[in-house]
């Protein structure tokens, strides 16, 4: 989709892979190691997919999530701490310049966050922000509103989540820019009329956005 900077009044960011550096493969590899993969990998993937979906849409809490993984173990049952450490291993950290960039954008645009996330990851993020960056008001300092999948009960790329955000934030679609590292999610945003940018996590977000966002 061609971006029309002069029309943009709202910017919606994805989280992981856009604002926060992540490496999902680290968690996949760690899960395989922790659970020893002593059972059929196709069965595991199907079960995990269902568990992850329920966790990311808030249909199960953290304790139920941990118990659901533990009952899948066929050897030594991993502790809560071990699973949480593995689960959070995909979360890398921040480019500190991102914080100032978001504040500058808020002077000219309404800024939103739309993320497929879960309770454990959000706990890690809040702890990391507090201890490493001294930020305790992330959601209100940098955004007009945040939409977390486990809180709103919907996740991308389901069409319903894009409709919900558009209506809840009272957005005019053609005045809204959506940024995500998943092409399926980008298409979901386009389905409700948002302008979109498919971000490559290897690119410098600030540099790339400066090419099509008005000062």
What domains appear along the chain, each with residue ranges and CATH number? 5-20+94-209 (3.40.50.1000), 24-90 (1.10.150)
Distances (CA, A) of 66 to 16, 35, 55, 79, 196: 22, 13, 10, 9, 36
pLDDT at 205: 95
Strands 10-13 and 21-22: unpaired
* Residue whose structure tokens are 């600030």: 206
Distances (CA, A) of 85 to 122, 124, 164: 14, 10, 33
What is the model's pTM? Answer: 0.93
Burial class (CB in 10 A: 0-12, 13-18, 19+), 12: buried
Asked if residues 3 and 174 have their Cβ atoms less than 8 Å apart, the reply is no
75-87 in b/e form (b: 16+ CB < 10 A) is: eeebeeebbbebb
pLDDT at 29: 85
pLDDT at 214: 65
Regions in the chain scoring below 70 on pLDDT:
37-45, 214-215
């Amino acid at each position: 989709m061609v971006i029309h900077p002069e029309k943009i009044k709202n910017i919606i960011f994805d989280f992981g892979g856009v604002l926060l550096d992540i490496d999902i493969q680290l968690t996949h590899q760690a899960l395989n190691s922790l659970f020893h993969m002593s059972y059929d990998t196709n069965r595991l993937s199907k079960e995990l997919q269902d568990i992850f979906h329920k966790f990311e849409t808030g249909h199960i809490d953290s304790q139920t999530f941990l118990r659901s993984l533990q009952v899948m173990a066929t050897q030594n049952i991993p502790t809560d701490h071990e699973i949480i450490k593995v689960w959070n291993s995909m979360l890398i950290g921040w480019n500190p310049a991102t914080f100032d960039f978001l504040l500058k954008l808020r002077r000219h645009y309404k800024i939103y966050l739309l993320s497929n996330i879960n309770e454990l990851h959000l706990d890690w993020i809040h702890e990391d922000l507090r201890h490493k960056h001294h930020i305790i008001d992330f959601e209100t300092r940098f955004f007009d509103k945040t939409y977390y999948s486990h809180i709103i009960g919907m996740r991308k790329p389901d069409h319903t989540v894009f409709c919900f955000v558009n209506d809840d934030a009272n957005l005019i679609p053609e005045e809204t820019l959506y940024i995500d590292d998943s092409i399926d999610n980008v298409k979901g945003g386009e389905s409700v009329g948002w302008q979109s940018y498919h971000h490559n996590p290897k690119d410098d977000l600030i540099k790339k956005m400066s090419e099509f966002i008005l000062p």
